[in-house]
Amino acid sequence: MAVAAARAVMLGAAAPLAPEEVDLAESVGRVLAEDILAIRPQPPFDASSMDGWAVRSADHAGARRIVGESAAGRGFDGEVRPGEAVRIFTGAPMPSGADAVVIQEDARRDGDLVSMSAPPPGAFVRPAGQDFPAQARLLESGVRLDPWRLALAAAAGRAHLKVSRRPGLAIISTGDELASPGAAPSARQIFDSAGPAIAALAALWGAAPVARLRAQDNVEAITRAAAGAGGDLLITIGGASVGDHDLVKPALGDLGLRMMVESIAIRPGKPTWFGALADGRLVLGLPGNPASAMVCAELFLRPLLLALQGADATPRPAWARLAAPLKANGDREHWMRARLSYGDLGDTIAHPFGDQDSSLVTVFAEADALLRRPAHAPAAATGEAVEVLRLDRV
């Protein structure tokens, strides 16, 4: 199946999970399941943007009589009449009658009087609602919260937010050759690098870990691990292909696996598959080669997790210019690991790594982006524009 078609099948199966309430402080990384509306304008009143003097702009230049003070959180209850001034501070409400502020550096105080030139109307005044008016739709359902959006929800006075439940994620790394990092590997084993990487990526994309399991290459072990793993989504790593030791699909057949995507026309990651178990859990089968697993996580797991949280799941590629020529591509969409740099004219330059072998963790550790070569793309020259998907490097 083509990459876009496979993703469409996955997203079609990923209905948003039920919403729950979280505290504002816990909301970063969560996806809003409600619109956030302003209950009042911000600022709620005309406010001074500087320390100075609140005056009537229609008054002539010269001395004004000081009649009071307006500080942030307090204000001045009287009225500023012609020839009068009120001492005012940043964030304080404008007293009625006054329509401009003269900053303190531009005024000279002498006892009960303060002298200044006439300011233009509205000088150094933040009008009520300058940031947002009452009833404004500040944040929309489906938006993922970050510290900047959190500031807006806080400015709207919200202590609790309705967000989508995090998708519970179970991960099973399969393979007799795998040793967990920290364990003592035999001479013929390698460390499980794909499992921890996929778990970490999923956490960035809002998943809640429910199980992190390992299974040997035998059907019973894989079935047992999968049966008790729980969560909304199961990821298997390895054993996805059609070799004698690729047993994940047969093992999940015992749990009523319904296949929806058998394999994908992508490089790396062709054995990637997708389906659902009889109990409703979705399953994404990733190949074990770390680069294959991480490319397919970016292209399929990220959208799946976002869709389960009710967020926009469409990958947003950008464009970059090739730093080196590329050969014509074959019949699978190729997602190459690349570094990005930035040219004098503000253009982005993509430097594909020379060795694109799907087992390489060193290359991924240095990559900034995935570079897309469509199926059957002709050879591309240096400087040609290519699509790139930036990695969320922390």
Which residues contribute to the site for ligand AMP (CB under 6 A)? 173, 175, 177-178, 190, 192-195, 237-241, 246, 287-290
Q: How far is the CB of 343 from ligand AMP (least distance, A)?
A: 36
Other Cβ atoms closer than 10 A to 13: 17
DSSP 195-258: HHHHHHHHHHTT-EEEEEEEE-SSHHHHHHHHHT--SSEEEEES--SSSTT--HHHHHHTTT-E
Q: Which does 59 bind (CB under 5 to 8 A by kind): Mg ion, ligand AMP, none?
A: none
Whichever of 289 and 309 has its CB closer to ligand AMP, that residue is 289
Distances in whole angstroms, Cα of residue 326 to Cα of each of 84, 336, 378:
74, 11, 9
The answer to whether the bond into 196 is cis (omega within 30° of 0) is no
The only residue of 16, 43, 75, 238 in contact with Mg ion, by rule CB under 5 A: 238
Q: Which helix (H) or strand (E) holds 304?
A: helix 302-308
Q: Identify residue 93 by its one-letter amino acid code.
A: P
- Tell me which residue has its CB nearest to ligand AMP: 288
Under the binding rule (CB under 5 A), the answer on residue 195 touching Mg ion is: no
Interatomic CA distance for residues 245 and 3, integer angstroms: 26
Binding mask 163-192 for Mg ion (x = CB under 5 A): ------------x-----------------
Sign of CA dihedral 312, 369, 29, 194: positive
Strand partners, 126: 47
Q: Which is nearer to Mg ion, 285 or 315 (CB)?
A: 285
Task: Select the residue interacting with Mg ion from 239, 269, 271, 315 (CB under 5 A).
Answer: 239
In eight-state DSSP terms, residue 26 is: G
Partner in contact with 194, chosen from ligand AMP, Mg ion, none, beta carbon below 5 to 8 Å by kind: ligand AMP
289 binds, among Mg ion, ligand AMP, none (CB under 5 to 8 A by kind): ligand AMP
Place of tokens 């105080």: 109
- By the rule CB under 5 A, 290 interacts with Mg ion: no
Total number of residues binding Mg ion (CB under 5 A)?
4
In the complex, least distance from residue 143 CB atom to ligand AMP, rounded to whole angstroms: 34
Q: What does the binding site for Mg ion look like in residue numbers (CB under 5 A)?
A: 175, 238-239, 288
